[in-house]
Structure 1
């Protein structure tokens, strides 16, 4: 069964790599089933893999259906449908899936509405395709929505129940029970963090966990404990099984008819199912439920069970239900960690005759050893998805395991379920959880988290080969493992050599930061500059305002960048500077360049309280950044010419208070030239500022970052005619409230021979200039068919 699961994963991966229709994969599976002279187990595994590929191709075809009209526009939409699946408690909101005529929609609504699975509802809001920031290092919102079972998303401004219980749903009573139990636990008070942890453990309600707790537990390598993991279910089921076995042994009416273990197995099954339903049916819990179900069936039939086969069955059922689950980090981490524990335990025996103290020491040593092994085998997954590897789990698991999972969790479950006596038990559980949280925070403060650059597909494959080699060594012998490890090492060395032997290109990456600007310049000598950092003023929360900056920091991490030599702010508007706070929190910035305000101008930035430009610049200065005005004119950096072209008043870069020139018109303009190839970044210039540039002699430019997000007050005919670029980059947010870019502006650039690339359509756009003057333009997503780019490759994910 386990090798069938591996074959199914490979089949889904093949479809992701090469595509193809489902019927073609089914035909290949039929042919493979009839191939003679192939051992039966091998043939069966191949057929299972091809059937999984067919299922994955069918799922992809469904996701590729054309979207209905009204999606991704700026108008509010009203949608009717039925609530399907569990309710997800979020900080200050509730997430749910609505099955509608346009397809399943992930809906987020404020508060905790009195709406339950099976209700027919009407929701109002903007209907959007999941997108997020389309940059290397940013989460894939499409995959996240797909893993939630949704194709579209909507932030509801209103939700109305049209018909309660209009459809039968197995999730209805679990959702109601979860909310009631969460409220019961919350009412006990106590340590706030401990209370939030118990609600997360017992009913899957993470709404009380703040960002600081998330970060601390992630840094300590025990983030998995904040969700309802497979281990939680295993602990609850095992303790319930042990308690029921002992209880049934004292009930003559039961013990005289059936063995207590068999009776306990029957009673435990519905309890385990109920726990998974109440906690939201998370992937790790569903995986554990299948394994627990197989174990309970074995206990009832009094037969032995192979854990590996139970795990393989769980994987096959998950893939059959939704093939794309293979790409879910939760699926990967859950199954790899479980498989690692099975392989690591292979062939090991305990000595029951050893003294108790020696058995305790051996158990602690084994726990540390297993934590290290799981950390190593899951490291490629966390590096691939999150760009980091937490080393604190070795210590953190020694704290969280006994305190939280063996003590607080059982007490919390019993306390929530048992009236009267349950209150004090819940209080004890909350106190233990609070102490555990403080211990985890202490561990997080002293254990390192390795930030790693983006893994290539080759490096990930090599890491997988090393893991398989270790498994082969544990299960079969050393020779096969040695060969596999040697091959993996060779691939790793080759990938490392390719990475370090890359030529000395000048690369400018225009990032997708929504309605804002951000560009990263990577110099041939290894220096890094950042021009603007995005920002989302009015997002409704600090996290939302700084989200574009976190996307910039995530991209820098994927590139292995640990320092920014120069950050340039084109002008003091928050959609250009606000993200610097998030960037500087993760990566030091050596210098901040800006246009100096004229003496009579004061501060040209809009005031946003603690988010004003002066406040942000002061925060950077306090962190060690040197603040300096940009110097007008050109300088040479190796074979690259750097020009500061505007704002020009006499011989200085000064932002004037002239009422005819707005803050936008005083944008700091940068142009880079290498081997005859030039790239100009125009900030948010409008008519007056562009006219000044043209009057100063701005000429043909290979690549232009269009001013002011392609607004109708920018990209004047004179500027477009003067620059005549091969490519024009428009940085803007999807379906933004301004209606940018203006269609006339895009057509104006195209009429002069430019290829227009928009970050809201293609995500990040990288321009790479070689020493010889070769230019390559790459995009994160494929451009629309009407947008030819020329020789290019898609950015690696």
Structure 2
């Protein structure tokens, strides 16, 4: 069983690593492979399990990809009918929800249903609720995320949730409610009702956000600063309904039923108390998972609970490890893409670590010692996944969890659920529970904030060779061995390479590397020399809780092994260039800042760009060509224009300059405009890239930092034609993802490396490149 399921898991993961889906004709092998599974030989079960996992994942992926939005419908005004399938979330001036589409009409032609769509309704939409059926005019596009080294794969995350299309509601007289909520969305309507009650009961925004996360799985009320506190203290798992929470609720249901059932002789004669308790535990787990919207983590937890309790209900003793492997198989059968989610590994590895460690160390002792040992086992078992996922390990995490987990298990979660039930029955009854709960959570959050301020983190690089991760996992397994085994010390030695590996690549003297990062409609670039690092612009702010600094730049810098920034240039004061500055400075506070509009930089510490601020790093020349006079320009034309050069060639970064600034550069710096590589001014706007400027630059490559199907239509086709006519190969971040060029003093200019191609998986959106 262990061999077959393990290789089934490896098979599903192998499919997820494919750049393109294999031919479906291989699916005919599936029934033949099932026929050989009863064979007991591991030599047969291993390849059969692998092939079955691969084919099972292939069939599932193929079915989901059939719900792809046709290219010809992207950006068009469509009339759709569908049912609201999730809780509507209102923030940042819009309401976001998922719609189950029943009908799509475009120019009187009805198109096939393409599944679920994530929609945003801006302004003040009517009161939306799950189960409502709406007719809406919308504009849609395929899900398209950013592709950067060390970045989050939003497209893969959406694919795992079954969502391939997103868009927004267009104001139209035909937008109307066409049907009342149906029976199929009853649990979602209950969740919506409970969310409204919690808003009335709990006014404190942080406590309200935590309670919504714990009761109905709605984490939209938690801010980015809240999540940072949870991450720094290793307590993020406490506010995301998963195995711990389902286990707590199931366990409370089990032991309460066991206690009461044994008090009734009549009931005990009809059904044994342990079997009744197991049944109630599964029902409690199911209801709690329903309150959480049957999210993927709760589905995994529910399966694990049902497998474990099923043995008791059926009076069938199943060994703990066998239960764990059976639960893993069921989860993969339900969702072969589950292995893509870090939560999958966190859930199963946490249980596996506890089972391994406690099985060998059941020596009695004080309860507090046993509980502390469990925290150590969980921290140790999850460390490889957390290092891969977050590149950081909060060292204070096990100590904080030693206190926080019991408080959440025995006080916070039971009080929250009982208070919710009381509010549904009689509002003042719920208040009796929520008043002490608010006080408890407020104090606990303050304690977590204090602990976060004192937390020390162990940082590791994410771009590590595979064999180092294999060594780290082997090291953890050895450390879980029982006391007295001489080889346990080897586990520490196997962990050292991961903890000490430096992923940053030292460039030779005189070389430099240029990254144009994929940040959507905005700009962020990084230039690396042998010992120094420059960031040019920090990208846009996406919402109240997200910006390019925290979402793209900082993960990129961590993944690349950079621990400092020597200088930041914010080309101008527009939001799409400075949106991530505060987040970057929060991580790298001792950084010098230049800007074309220093008065618009919130930190108040920016110096104006100017030719007198040119410098040299490691044999590479940095020259600020524009503006010549600080304060002489404003808006886009105040953008800092930077020329970077070595013996191999030159790079020209132009910011948002328009035709007036281009003319000024032609007049003052004509001989310095010629470059091998140029960023197209103002993202490819018609107001920039005049013919004289394009001809003077005479670039081999012209790069545009633009968002996928952005509302401005950048880069404009006539601008691209102008650069192509001048002999440049044109690339844009929407099509290429992050773009890298190397300027080698001895080998010339190397590139481009396009990360949407190098990081591609079969679910990633492939756009038509602007260059060919």
TM superposition score normalised by structure 1: 0.83
Deviations 1:92-117 (A, max 9, x none): 84533424523321234579976565
1:450-465 aligned within 5 A: 450-458=458-466, 461-462=469-470, 465=473
CA distance in 2, matches of 1:287, 1:41: 27
Name the counterpart of 1:12.
12
Distance 1:693 1:533, change over 3 A: same
The number of residues matched between the two structures is 739
Q: Do residues 242 (structure 1) and 255 (structure 2) align?
A: yes
- The structure 1 residue matched to 2:723, chosen from 749, 762, 765, is 749
Name the counterpart of 2:659.
687
Name the counterpart of 1:646.
626
Name the counterpart of 1:601.
none
- The structure 2 residue matched to 1:224, chosen from 237, 247, 250, is 237
Name the counterpart of 1:736.
710
Name the counterpart of 1:439.
447
Name the counterpart of 1:120.
133
CA distance in 1, matches of 2:549, 2:271: 62
Q: Do the aligned residues in 2 keep the contact of 1:174 with 1:274 (CA within 8 Å)? A: no
TM superposition score normalised by structure 2: 0.86
1:745: Cα distance to partner? 1.3
Name the counterpart of 2:343.
330
1:569: Cα distance to partner? 2.8
3-state SS in 2 of match to 1:346: helix
Name the counterpart of 1:140.
153
1:350-499 aligned within 5 A: 350-351=363-364, 359-360=365-366, 363-418=367-422, 419=425, 423-458=431-466, 461-462=469-470, 465-466=473-474, 469-470=477-478, 473=481, 496=501
Name the counterpart of 1:627.
607
Distance 1:368 1:768, change over 3 A: farther
1:581: Cα distance to partner? 2.1
1:211-360 aligned within 5 A: 211-351=224-364, 359-360=365-366
Q: Do residues 534 (structure 1) and 507 (structure 2) align?
A: no
Q: Do the aligned residues in 2 keep the contact of 1:729 with 1:757 (CA within 8 Å)? A: yes
CA distance in 1, matches of 2:220, 2:504: 42
Deviations 1:707-747 (A, max 9, x none): 11111222222222222222111112222222211111112
1:340: Cα distance to partner? 1.8
Q: Do the aligned residues in 2 keep the contact of 1:248 with 1:260 (CA within 8 Å)? A: yes
Distance 1:90 1:204, change over 3 A: farther
Distance 1:550 1:39, change over 3 A: closer
CA-based RMSD of the aligned residues comes to 3.6
Name the counterpart of 1:599.
none
3-state SS in 2 of match to 1:122: strand
CA distance in 1, matches of 2:768, 2:215: 52
- The structure 1 residue matched to 2:752, chosen from 777, 782, 791, is 777
3-state SS in 1 of match to 2:525: strand
Q: Do residues 724 (structure 1) and 698 (structure 2) align?
A: yes
- The structure 2 residue matched to 1:767, chosen from 725, 741, 754, is 741
Q: Do the aligned residues in 2 keep the contact of 1:564 with 1:587 (CA within 8 Å)? A: yes
Q: Do residues 673 (structure 1) and 683 (structure 2) align?
A: no
Name the counterpart of 1:355.
none
Distance 1:738 1:788, change over 3 A: closer
CA distance in 1, matches of 2:757, 2:730: 13
Distance 1:22 1:773, change over 3 A: closer
* Runs of 5+ consecutive residues of structure 2 not aligned to the other structure: 103-112, 759-765
Distance 1:157 1:380, change over 3 A: farther
Deviations 1:127-147 (A, max 9, x none): 232234332233221122122
Q: Do the aligned residues in 2 keep the contact of 1:200 with 1:206 (CA within 8 Å)? A: yes
1:500: Cα distance to partner? 5.5
1:68: Cα distance to partner? 1.5
3-state SS in 2 of match to 1:708: helix
3-state SS in 2 of match to 1:302: coil
1:635: Cα distance to partner? 4.7
- The structure 1 residue matched to 2:512, chosen from 497, 506, 509, is 506
- The structure 1 residue matched to 2:521, chosen from 515, 519, 522, is 515
3-state SS in 1 of match to 2:201: coil
CA distance in 1, matches of 2:295, 2:768: 41
CA distance in 2, matches of 1:161, 1:678: 58
Structure 1 window deviating more from structure 2 (33-42 vs 285-294): it is 33-42
1:614: Cα distance to partner? 2.0
3-state SS in 2 of match to 1:508: strand
* Runs of 5+ consecutive residues of structure 1 not aligned to the other structure: 352-358, 596-604, 606-612, 791-797
CA distance in 1, matches of 2:204, 2:687: 55
Distance 1:584 1:439, change over 3 A: same
Deviations 1:161-194 (A, max 9, x none): 322345x52xx22222223333344433476544
Deviations 1:388-414 (A, max 9, x none): 322232122122212111122122222
Q: Do the aligned residues in 2 keep the contact of 1:291 with 1:314 (CA within 8 Å)? A: yes
Deviations 1:483-525 (A, max 9, x none): 9998x679859x948856665641111112222222111112x
CA distance in 2, matches of 1:400, 1:719: 62
CA distance in 2, matches of 1:256, 1:581: 67
3-state SS in 2 of match to 1:672: strand
Distance 1:478 1:303, change over 3 A: farther
Deviations 1:206-243 (A, max 9, x none): 34333333221221111111111211111111111111
1:75-90 aligned within 5 A: 77-84=78-85, 86-87=86-87
